[in-house]
Amino acid sequence: MATYRIAPSILSADFAQLGNEVRNVVAAGADMIHFDVMDNHYVPNLTIGPMVCSAIRPLVDVPIDVHLMVKPVDRIIPDFARAGADIISFHPEASEHIDRTLQLIHDNGCKAGLVFNPATPLDYLLHVMDKLDLILIMSVNPGFGGQAFIPHALKKIETARAMIDSSGKQIMLEVDGGIKIDNIAEVARAGADTFVSGSAIFNTPDYTAVIRQMRERLNTVISPISD
């Protein structure tokens, strides 16, 4: 039986009420908090940094999943580890030495992930699969919330799932971008086990109802994935 995780992205939360937002979404059934970091360099947007991560860390017991959309990436990793991140993922294009960056994340006590944009090939995985705890497939182009899911991402998810299964490792397969009630089961059938959802959760009045409906859709998926 698959273990599915729902990771609301606070990029879509009300930042004037961020503490309450993270508490409320965890109380509603979230498994993780997805924390998007953008630098107005690697992506055309500017969001939040380690101080915000440190501020929300005492408020929730679930893992904080930090997605770094910054370049260069190595400088900021220790700061997020100290701020309470549990998982830190980055884009291969943002690192001069991917293997070294993955080791840096582990050396700072966090799980390490690699992120693939819609047009980024999965070939990097051939060289670093043994160092990964998470693979994140972007189903939108990174930089802004509220975008529509790119259907071609399903094939990439299927390929990444096959690579994980062949490796024999317990690696989370996360998908970020346009995830909502109507498509979460299709994404799970492609092989994903962790689902980032921002506006589909935070732009509704009832987080509990949305997360419950997502889990109901996931319960219809027959999958060999196991934790």
The catalytic residues are 36, 176
Burial of 129 (0-12, 13-18, 19+ CB in 10 A): middle
Category of 84 on φ-ψ map: left (φ > 0), alpha (ψ -120 to 50) or beta: left
CA distance 200 to 159: 26
CA distance 23 to 28: 9
Category of 136 on φ-ψ map: left (φ > 0), alpha (ψ -120 to 50) or beta: beta
- Residue 183 Cα distances to 10, 35, 52, 114, angstroms: 20, 22, 31, 23
What sign for the dihedral angle of Cα 180, 47, 78, 124?
positive
